[in-house]
Structure 1
Amino acid sequence: MSKKSYFQYQKDLNLPVFIAIDLEVFDSGMSNFFTEMKFQKLTDKEIPLALDVMKKNNKSRCLSISEASPSVSRQIQGSLESDHYGQESVVRQAGYQVYRYKEQGLMVYSFGAKVWEFGCYSHFGSAPDAASKLAARIIMNRFLTWALIPQGILGLWGVAVEGGVVLQRPRESRGELVFIDVIGNKILSMDGNKKLGPKFKVLRLDPTLKGRNVKMSHEELLGFMSAHATYLDINGLSVPVRQMIQTLARMTEGLLHPEESFRPRTDLSL
Structure 2
Amino acid sequence: MIGKLAKLRNKGVGELAERGRQVGRAFAEAAGFSGDGRLASDERVLEEFGVRSVEGLLEHFRSRPWSFYPAFRDREAVVRTFEERFGGERAALIERADGICEGRFSLLGYPDLYFGGEVPDWHLEPIADKRAPPVHWSRIEADVSADFGDNKIIWELNRHQYFALLGRAYCLTGNEKYAEVFASHVADWCENNPPKLGINWVSSLEIAFRSMSWTWAFHFFRDSPAFSGSLLLRMVKFLKLNGRHIENFLSTYSSPNTHLTGEALGLYFIGSFLQEIE
Same fold, TM-score > 0.5, yes or no: no
TM-score bracket, normalised by the shorter chain, equals under 0.3
**TM-score normalised according to structure 1 size:** 0.25
**TM-score normalised according to structure 2 size:** 0.24
Higher relative contact order (CA 8 A, sep 6+): 2
- Greater CA radius of gyration, 1 or 2? 2
Q: Which has the higher strand share?
A: 1
Q: Which has the higher helix share?
A: 2
